[in-house]
Amino acid sequence: MTGQSIRLLLADDHPVVRAGLRAVLETEPDLVIVAEAATAEAAVARASEGDVDVVLMDLQFGRGMTGAEATAAITAQPGGPRVVIVTTYDTDADTLPAIEAGASGYLLKDAAPEDLAAAVRTAAAGRTTLAPAVADRLLHRLRSPAMALTRREIEVLTLVADGLSNQAIAGRLHLTEGTVKSHLARVYAKLGVDSRTAAVATAADQGIIRR
């Protein structure tokens, strides 16, 4: 990307957020915003047109495809653009799916303007930028893999936090009820708790799921 403008797509369902990102990034001489998208589906479609280098992607779009799902679709495109997540959420339940989907960066919406611009340039160069809180949590997972919840365990616990029964969770995730119970048993052991309520509270305190 040296000597060339980096072409950006802003994907967020809130016009005010898109306007804020535009206002920050348009002050950078090497960054050019070529399009905006208000839905994840629109972001995927626009990113496939071949004139975008980096997509700034929110995680939650209300209905339809999530930001993580859109990221996976965009990064699966041959020669597709890089994706930098810009969101308010920093829990494992949010960061892990996005990173596994191929995001080149993960920043929080309170990031300093210079950090946002730097993350875009880093992504365009094929490298990765993570918000400090996200990087710290990922390092902790690497250092204590036996105690870290798996992606599936986090999904199960998130649905427990939403008030779903084991039977309902099984239906939602296409698992057997016995498998759900096994996941919960491992969650209890890893978190050192003995109830659904305690598991949800502890996981929220540790930033694994949203409060």
What gap in Å lies between CA 133 and CA 95, rounded to an integer?
11
Domain that holds residue 57: 6-140
What's the whole-model pTM score? 0.85
Q: For position 3, what pLDDT does the model report? A: 59
On whether residue 118 sits in a domain, the answer given is yes
If asked whether residues 39 and 81 sit together in one domain, one would say yes
In a domain? residue 1: no
Q: What is the pLDDT of residue 204?
A: 95
Walking along the chain (211 residues) 10 residues at a time, the average pLDDT comes out as 82 96 95 97 96 96 93 94 95 94 95 95 96 90 87 96 97 96 96 96 94 81
Identify the pLDDT of residue 141: 86
Residues 105 and 186 occupy one common structural domain = no
Residue 173's CATH number: 1.10.10.10
CB 198 within 8 Å of CB 192: no
* Tokens 């995680």 -> residue: 59
18 and 97 share a domain? Answer: yes
Of 121, 140, 159, which marks where a domain is finished? 140
Give me the amino acid identity at 190: K
The total number of structural domains in the chain stands at: 2
User: How many Cα atoms are found within 13 Å in the side-chain-facing hemisphere of 32?
Assistant: 10
CATH number, domain of 60, equals 3.40.50.2300
CA nearest neighbour of 41 among 66, 14, 10, 16: 66
33 and 110 fall within a common domain = yes
Task: Please give the sequence-ordered ranges of beta strands (E in DSSP) within the chain, or none if there are none.
Answer: 6-11, 31-37, 54-57, 82-87, 105-108, 129-130
- For residues 66 and 59, the answer to whether their CB atoms sit within 8 Å is yes
Structure tokens at 155: 């999904």
